């Protein structure tokens, strides 16, 4: 669904030069959002590195709610490193999303009839979709970090957070794939209606 929407949006912007300003403003908002998330990931990386140096001081106090988990400093380091890797992946994904969106800012205002084949609407849409994919990976990394944070308190908290996250994503993080879209130029009542293909419902 998102891939289809981005492709149609890019084609519409590049075929209507008067809409160039709107396209740039939309991409600017996209870049600002990705930049904010990348900055948040960087702050979380610093905070996680701080935790890694406090193993001896807080490993026992953080496990006070769990009577069955190990209090070993080695296990604490493993947990913190898993959290650190997750935030690094998120930072990299958001940074790449910003990079690709910055490329699209310059490419999208090139008129379609003057473009090189590498600057065609299809090529620009693919680059924008890669930017969106990287943003999605970064968000998934943030969501994956939630159970890891609860793991710091014990295995039962990890299990509960994992189940809660799966249920939340199942209910909230799905696209509608059964909708229909009128693709006729006239938009008349009797115009044919084409179903959106399932492959776009991602």
Integer CA distances (angstroms), 148 to 106, 141, 188, 190, in order: 39, 11, 53, 54
Least confident of 71-80, 120-129, 135-144: 71-80
More confident residue, 92 or 70: 92
So what's the pLDDT on residue 112? 61
Find the angle CA(182)-CA(183)-CA(187) to the nearest 5 degrees.
65
Q: Report the number of distinct structural domains present in the chain.
A: 1
Would you say 56 and 3 are in contact if contact means Cβ atoms under 8 Å apart? no
Report the run of H or E that residue 181 belongs to, with start and end.
strand 180-181
Q: Is the entire prediction scored with pTM above 0.85? A: no
Would you state the structure tokens that stand for residue 60, as one six-digit string? 């026992």
Least confident of 9-18, 92-101, 112-121, 141-150: 112-121
Q: Which domain holds residue 81?
A: 2-200
């Amino acid at each position: 669904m998102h891939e289809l929407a981005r492709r149609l949006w890019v084609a519409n912007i590049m075929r209507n030069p008067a809409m160039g300003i709107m396209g740039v403003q939309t991409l600017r908002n996209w870049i600002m959002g990705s930049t904010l998330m990348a900055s948040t990931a960087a702050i979380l990386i610093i905070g996680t590195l701080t935790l890694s140096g406090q193993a001896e001081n807080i490993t026992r106090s953080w496990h006070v709610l769990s009577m069955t988990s190990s209090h070993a400093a080695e296990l604490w380091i493993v947990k913190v490193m898993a959290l650190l890797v997750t935030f690094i992946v998120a930072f990299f994904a958001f940074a790449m999303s910003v990079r690709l969106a910055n490329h699209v800012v310059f490419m999208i205002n090139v008129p379609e009839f003057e473009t090189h084949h590498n600057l065609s609407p299809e090529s620009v849409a693919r680059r924008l979709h890669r930017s969106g994919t990287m943003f999605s990976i970064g968000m998934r990394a943030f969501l994956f970090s939630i159970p890891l944070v609860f793991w710091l308190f014990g295995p039962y908290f990890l299990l509960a957070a994992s189940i809660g996250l799966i249920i939340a994503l199942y209910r909230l993080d799905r696209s509608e794939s059964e909708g229909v879209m009128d693709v006729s130029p006239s938009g008349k009542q009797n115009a044919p209606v084409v179903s959106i293909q399932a492959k776009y419902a991602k």
